[in-house]
Amino acid sequence: MIAISKTDYTTSKSVYNEYLAQKLIDPDTPYMAYISLFASQYASLMGILGGGFYLHNISLPIIARNPNPKTNERDLFVGYFFVFFTYVSFGVIGALGFSGETYVDRWEDGAIQQNCLFM
């Protein structure tokens, strides 16, 4: 959380390039992280997300034994929505946290390492 509070974020490549130019002139410029909204690395993220939803098939026996089967569709939707919300929120907060200045020296090829335990 400290890294998130001390870091400025941008999704604009031009703003980030201006920051890099300013950083060369003045090394005391506050740290800014660039958040890429689209990248080729998202394929592995989608695989992890799909695998997480696949593992939630344990809900099928629970739904089969529901005492009020009329609410099955609603209950299943609510369950999957909360799982989606949890994964996305943890992923976004983790990505923002590990993109802070505190972790720059632990990056691999300018990006967060795949194994967060190394971070």
Question: Each residue of 60-94: pLDDT tens digit?
Answer: 777 788 888 898 888 888 888 988 898 888 888 88
pLDDT band of 45, cuts 50, 70, 90: low
CA-closest candidate to residue 104, choices 93, 84, 119, 86 = 119
Q: Residue 22 pLDDT more than 80?
A: yes
Asked if 29 contacts 19 with a C-beta cutoff of 8 angstroms, the reply is yes
CA distance 112 to 98: 7
Overall domain count for the chain? 1
Identify the sign of the CA torsion 81, 96, 116, 46.
positive
Global pTM reads 0.54
Range of the structural domain that residue 29 is part of: 2-118
